[in-house]
Amino acid sequence: MRATQVIGVIIFICIMGISITTDMSWRDWSYWAFIAPAALLSGVLISYNPNKRKGE
């Protein structure tokens, strides 16, 4: 696990924790406005591999 992957996992866990503890409805647009970019960011960080060359 690289530092970037660890950060991504931490962000993801924090998002899940926030979404569970705050009674946000999944139908609420503000929930998705908050969750989507953060989930995307954590996914990018988790899958980020600096050793991989572009085009592979």
Q: Three-state SS across 12-34?
A: HHHHHHHHHHCCCCCCCHHHHHH
* pTM (two decimals): 0.47
Of the candidates 44, 13, 18, the residue with the CA atom closest to the CA atom of residue 31: 18
In whole angstroms, give the CA distance from residue 24 to residue 47: 28
Mind listing the pLDDT tens digit for each residue in 1-33?
677 778 878 888 877 777 667 666 666 677 777
